Amino acid sequence: MQHPPQIPGFTFVDLVGEGGFADVFRYQQELPTRQVAIKVLRSSGDAASIELFRAEANVMAQLSNHPSIVPIYQAGVSSDGRAFLVMEYCPPPHVAQRYRTRPLAVAEVLDIGVKIASAVETAHRAGILHRDIKPHNILTSTFGVPLLTDFGIASVVGETGAGAQGLSIPWSPPEALSADSHDVRSDVYSLAATLYSLLIGHPPFERRDAPNDNASLMTRIERGQLTPLRRPDVPASLVDVLRRAMSVEVDRRPVSAMVLGRQLQDVQIELRQSPTRLEVMDASPSALVEEHPNDARTLVRPVSVIIPAAVHERPGPLQPGRDEDTRHPDHPGAPGSSGSTGASGHVGHSGPRYPSGRSATGGSAPRHPGPQRATQRRLGVPARIGIGVAGAVLAGAVGYALLAGSPDDARGDAGTLRGEDPPDPEALADAPPAPVVTASGKGARWTFAWAPADPQPNDEFKVLLSGNGVQPTPPEYTEATSKTVTVAPGATVCVRVAVSRKGGEPSALSEQTCVVGR
């Protein structure tokens, strides 16, 4: 731990948390009198990086009055050259402490998911990529409201002073394991992985029967070998939404945090819950002149944000391409609306593009990514603990995330948008065929064997046993392709099997295969 800095107007109380790049201290503010959390970077940066830190902190502070982002009160540089942020103090316990002890209830996870999706969408529309969404970065206010924090300040100062940026491997998308990602769908992946963790009680690729070192986790992430979620109270539609958002292929994920939030609302409606409202502050260039289709489920507030020149020159976030007609999900030409056109049900570009620095009338040309971060996301840096707070990394000038539209809409990957019935998990286009199950044996000893139509390495199978010859048991998840059972004379044992692979949708269950003991 580094020593707490002396900051005029604040009195040190105690240490809240520490990490590889920053420490968080609790201070007593003198005027107004209140307790605050102050996050202090471990390393001091040069003049240029400190200036950029200040500029980006100013931008995000303007958005930190979002109801699901930790408020920023002040930013500055201490007398010893360390940058710091003064934030609202959120007392524990937080979700990171709770989910490891007991997985969270489905209703709470859905509420958290929609609220944090609103915060992420707000950041994306201001040109900010979070890059480190995980349970540890969702705090809880005094009133129990989930708040997103830690937008990765270390990557700002770290480019020239603090060294390479860290990586939280358990919740990182595959593309971020080898290179720095500028795509908003990388944040979508990490948010889905975080929600999956809250439901399963551990990181999504962690297994109790296998090594969980960084190398093993990376292998599973790259192959999409998601640990099965074995909770009967979690609806299949929610599992489908999260698995789709965690697809290995970026183009199969929801195109924005807004779309993921709408899909989570659809699950709330399916469960007969009142949908949590999506509240987005839109700082995109066109926000002040275009109309936003607010409704009972979505509220979009245009806001004006001053973008300093130092921030404007940074690379902007990569977002899936779209035409003006696909900006809103309820537009006549938007995907899923009655007026959509084209073979895939949408109008838009087939590939990604970078948002321009200004509105269409501003005349600014699109910006392209620079190489300065290409080597930052490499192994050798331990999974980082909070190194920033709501909004310290602004990846570029103002941009806006999409409400809908994707080149993969024809496959159903974009999901429902306006409260339609959730898709049947057994009818999705990317689900493999059901395995074929056979039985062999005689007397009391029988062996069931199964194989998918196109076997792949590391296929995982869900095996259901039924009949009066076995005790009722939960499904078994295994990579084995056979199971031997002992069947009492005259008793019946039946088996049904499903297969899943690469984090995709599971297959339908196989036809039931039964044997009778003799």
Sequence-distant contacts of 211-214: CB under 8 A, at least 24 apart = 214/169, 214/379, 214/383
The yes-or-no answer on residue 411 being catalytic is no
Q: Give the closest residue to 505 by CA, choosing from 244, 265, 289.
A: 244
**Integer Cα distance of 39 and 345 in angstroms:** 47
DSSP for residue 23: E
Q: Strands 298-302, 278-282: parallel, antiparallel or unpaired by DSSP? A: parallel
Q: Which of 131, 185, 262, 327 is catalytic?
A: 131
Taken in order 254, 258, 261, 263, the sign of the CA dihedral is negative
DSSP SS3 for 271: coil
| Per-state percent for the chain, helix, strand, coil, to nearest 5 | 25, 20, 55
Give Cα separations from 8 to 57, 76, 365 (angstroms).
19, 11, 43
Residues linked to residue 478 through DSSP beta bridges, in sequence order: 461
Angle of helix 236-245 versus helix 184-200 axis, rounded to 10: 140
DSSP for residue 99: T
**Integer Cα distance of 355 and 26 in angstroms:** 39
Say if CB 512 and CB 463 are below 8 A apart. no
DSSP for residue 58: H
Say if CB 369 and CB 289 are below 8 A apart. no
Binding-site annotation: residue ranges for ATP: 39
DSSP SS3 for 30: coil
**Integer Cα distance of 446 and 220 in angstroms:** 33
Q: Find all residues with CB under 8 Å of 499, minimum gap 6, and list them.
A: 432, 434, 435, 452, 459, 460, 461, 462, 506, 507
**Integer Cα distance of 40 and 387 in angstroms:** 8
Burial class from Cβ neighbours inside 10 Å (0-12, 13-18, 19+) for residue 311 reads buried
Q: Give the closest residue to 326 by CA, choosing from 423, 252, 414, 422.
A: 414
Point out the residues that are catalytic: 131
